[in-house]
Amino acid sequence: MSTTQSLGRTNFRAGLRFALQVLPWAVVGLMVLAAVLAPLISPYDPIQSVGQPLVPLWSEGHPLGTDSFGRDQLSRLLHGLGPMMFVAIGAVILALILGGTVGLFSGVTGGRVDWLIMRGVDILMSFPLILAAILVIVALGSSLVNLMLAVSISQIPIFARLSRALASGEVVRDYVLAARATGFGPLHIMLREVAPNIVRPLLVQATSIVSVASLTAAALSYLGLGTRPPQPDLGYMVKEGQELIFIAPEQTILPGLVIAIFVLAMSFCGDQLNARERSG
Amino acid sequence: MSTDNSQAAFTRRQFAALLGITSAAAALPWRVQAQDGGKTLVFALPGLVGNFEPHTWIGFGDTVHVMDTVARGLTHMDFSDPLPQPAIASGWTISADGKTYDFAIRPDLTFHDGSPLDAAAVKRTFDRMFDTTDTTRPDASFAADNLGGANILGFETPDAMTFRINLAAPDAAILGRLSRPDMVIISAVALEEHGKEIGLNFSSCGPYKIVSVTPNESVVLEAFDGFYKGKPAVERVIMQVIPEPVAQMTSLASGALNVTNLIPHSNVDRLQAMPGIRIEQSAAFISVSLAMNCEHPVLSDIRVRQAISLGIDRDAVIREVFFGKAELPGYITPAAEMGYAPDHAELSKSDPAAARALLEEAGATGTALSLISENSGFWPRLGQVVERSLNEIGLAVTVEYLDGGTFNSRLNDKTGHELAFFQRSAFFPDPDGRFSPLFHSGTSFAQNITVQTGLPAQVELDALLVAANAESDPAARAALFAALNTFMATQMLPVVAVVNTFLPVAVTADLEGVNANALGTYRTFLDGARFTG
């Protein structure tokens, strides 16, 4: 192989690697944009019957067909993105704040308090995630906010343990010892010394957790614990389309595909951030 | 760090091979079963608890399928005839005052366990229902109320093969009620041996007997040669738990399943087009209705209830919820049952303009109402259509989708609902099955669900129900129930009839004699089934 060919091949590979690195971020960005702009770009009202039931894909006026009520499927998918992202991202932020704080406190305090808190986290973690979320929804009622709360509860232990591990590693470092020697109290050490040094890895983990939270949210919606029909909800649309799988498989495949693409893209984004964090 | 993968315990190729072999092995028993010369019929169950206690049965579920297949009562209604037919009783006589029924028990019958089936054995079953001191009686039993409650004075055996029921007042519906799944005759010997555990050791006199029960999995039954109609043609029945409709359809297509009545309405046309599968035509015995809390300050006005009835887009319900597999209702009695009259179609028509006018007249336009619905099956789809059509006539209806337990709890609490969906299927096709158990002032339904006992016409309704059930002539009785439909729809309207439908019944093409009308309303009579070829 000539030097030119070799160089060309190397450039192609580099370009492909770059594209693959950028692709998940582009997908996530596009989906977030679609969710935000859904009211503007949707061709129809997602809850109104605007056509014949079960119009197939690529039909005139309905590129993704209609559902069994004659509602435009493209419009419902666009409007269904927002709730899923709201729940997933909101749940992760909530879990990050609550779990991170608990773990930080536990890791800095140490001793029996640390032991007790972590056993509590272990108990919470041993409870089946979906079951815990279902209990919350049944107790509080079905709504987006309650769904977000339910999903966040299932993610709190993850952030608590990570935060505690990171904080435990930081408290034995020189700058913390110096702060103690200077006379700063535990609160100052927690918030001003340790917290800033563990935020970044927590945020990186949060990105990965968004994909898990999205799946949990979709699963709960599938069980009918999400938004109330006829409001578009991707997980519930999978369930509604399930019985039609032999006559209109796109009814269940399309919302499932949208969920899968978002989860996959977020997962890749999280992996990239993790890799970058580990390499320093 | 070693990177030598040659020592790996399990390669991807080995895993794929194992997966393929395991999948093939898992599929093999089904194909073998389906190819055993047609001696085994596989029927789909939605679930299987495995306790077949008839006197705590309250409807639906696995119990009714198994009970219908392994047990029989004094009478039998197979949905081909509006009148009860002899079953364990070869016939009966009714006293002139209508208060005494003498049933002649068929001679030489035995239970599955070989013990004799005589009048004493029959009486044992009914005594257990009514005697609260009977130690074999289950703790929570509604069977006595379901038969007739306080109207049942007692039971006698004038001779060895005659069983007598004494009533306080005439009740022509009792013959139909004796065909209910909770009225089946239980082996007296088994009762004495197992007591309250009879549900786990059930023995009766139906066309099939239980061979084995695996909870959450299957029930295996074999033909009983002592059945009064003779041994069924199909030697073995396996009732297999396949809860998912999609799994049932694939099982039907592969021949691993022979009969199911759990196919969604949306898939009927698709299944019909598949080779080797046949959709049996069923009459629409299942009423889908909307109960209204008549004590609600707005719903207490009959004009509002009428507006709700007029406002529901029933054509949209038939099209979008049941995919065409439903029909417009009369009122309480469906067209397939005795007591329906052609002019009943006017009692449940849709007229949005008239609905809006009535709401305006009643000053109820814009009223916010909540409607509770189960969140499974066709109910969510129905909820969306009804919510849409009622909001279009000027109400502000919000549907709450609830799990089964929460839904039933709120349905039976008169403070827990304003509007509520419910369905009524014909466990036996006697018109009173849809009237007295629901709308008589003494029932839990009238007191807690429709809360109608305070309506001015309730007293008259109670009297009309008693009169209709005292009438033994079928034609006269049918006319009385037809009049009851009109009376309730025009004077009371505690419920709105939405549509009538049926459970689609799918069978493999090699099976004949399946009672589709019964299967279409949850009853399961397989004794007439036979494989062709």
pLDDT band at A280 (very low <50, low <70, confident <90, very high): low
Q: In what order do the strands lie in the sheet with B162-167?
A: B89-94, B100-105, B162-167, B152-159
Least confident of A129-138, A182-191, B12-21, B484-493: B12-21
CA-based nearest distance A22→chain B, Å: 31
pLDDT band at B6 (very low <50, low <70, confident <90, very high): very low
Query: Is there a contact between B432 and B469 (Cβ–Cβ < 8 Å)?
Result: yes
Decide if A69 touches B, using CB distance below 8 A. Answer: yes
pLDDT digit string (tens) for B476-496? 999 999 999 999 999 999 999
* Per-residue confidence (pLDDT) for residue A129, from 0 to 100: 76
Average pLDDT over residues A170-176: 87
* pTM higher than the cut 0.95: no
* Per-residue confidence (pLDDT) for residue B7, from 0 to 100: 45
Contacts of B504 in chain A (CB under 8 A): none
Q: What is the enclosing helix (H) or strand (E) of B92?
A: strand B89-94
Decide if A68 touches B, using CB distance below 8 A. Answer: yes
* Per-residue confidence (pLDDT) for residue B35, from 0 to 100: 44
Nearest Cα neighbor of A43 from A82, A75, A70 is: A75
Average pLDDT, chain B: 90
Distance of CA B184 to the CA centre of its chain: 15
pLDDT band at A188 (very low <50, low <70, confident <90, very high): confident
Cβ atoms within 10 Å of B36's Cβ, excluding its own:
10
Contacts of B249 in chain A (CB under 8 A): 246
Q: Show the tokens assigned to B486.
A: 């009109």
* Per-residue confidence (pLDDT) for residue A176, from 0 to 100: 85
More confident residue, A138 or A238: A238
pLDDT digit string (tens) for B318-334? 999 999 999 999 999 99
Average pLDDT over residues B504-520: 94
pLDDT at B32 over 80: no
* Per-residue confidence (pLDDT) for residue A128, from 0 to 100: 85
Nearest by CB to residue B380, choosing from A53, A229, A242, is A229
Average pLDDT over residues B198-227: 95
Least confident of A125-129, B180-184, B194-198, B386-390: A125-129
Contacts of A230 in chain B (CB under 8 A): 384, 387-388
Decide if B350 touches A, using CB distance below 8 A. Answer: no
pLDDT band at A235 (very low <50, low <70, confident <90, very high): very high
pLDDT at B258 over 90: yes
Decide if B380 touches A, using CB distance below 8 A. Answer: yes
Cβ of B266 and A68 within 8 Å? yes
Q: Strand B277-280 vs strand B419-424: parallel, antiparallel, or unpaired?
A: unpaired
Contacts of B375 in chain A (CB under 8 A): 224
* Per-residue confidence (pLDDT) for residue B300, from 0 to 100: 97
A–B: how many Cβ contacts below 8 A?
49
CA distance B236 to A278: 64
pLDDT digit string (tens) for A208-232? 899 999 998 999 889 888 888 899 9
Decide if B384 touches A, using CB distance below 8 A. Answer: yes
Q: Which of A243, A251, A252 to mutate to test the interface with B (most CBs of B within 10 A)?
A: A243
Q: Which of A50, A131, A247, A252 to mutate to test the interface with B (most CBs of B within 10 A)?
A: A247
> To the nearest whole percent, how much of chain B has pLDDT over 70?
92
Q: Mean pLDDT: which of A178-192, A219-233, A258-272 is highest?
A: A258-272
